Amino acid sequence: MEHPNELPAEFTRLTDEYGLAEMVKDHIASMTERYAVNCYNRIFATGEKTLVF
């Protein structure tokens, strides 16, 4: 929840109605494993510390 601007638009526009935590949870729940790994690597991974699918 430190990067709310990383949420896709369909989740961002619902944060006022449902709250940021709920939208983050729904976004994560809708991810495929490959998509989740790619998102993690894009946001957090540096150098050797990447997840591999």
Q: What is the pLDDT of residue 16?
A: 93
Number of neighbouring beta carbons within 10 Å of residue 37: 16
Q: What is the number of domains present in the chain?
A: 1
Residue 11 corresponds to which tokens in the numbers above?
Answer: 């989740």
Residue 52 counted as domain residue: no
Estimate to the nearest angstrom the gap between the alpha carbon of 8 and the chain centroid: 8
Residue 8 counted as domain residue: yes
Q: What is the pTM of this model?
A: 0.64
For CA atoms 27, 32, 37, 42, give the dihedral sign. negative
Which 3 state secondary structure label does DSSP give 22?
A: helix
What domain range is 38 assigned to?
4-43
The confidence band for 4, taking pLDDT boundaries of 50, 70 and 90, is: confident
Q: How far apart are CA 52 and CA 31, in angstroms?
A: 16
User: Mind listing the pLDDT tens digit for each residue in 6-49?
Assistant: 899 999 999 999 999 999 999 989 889 888 888 888 888 776 66
Q: What is the pLDDT of residue 14?
A: 93
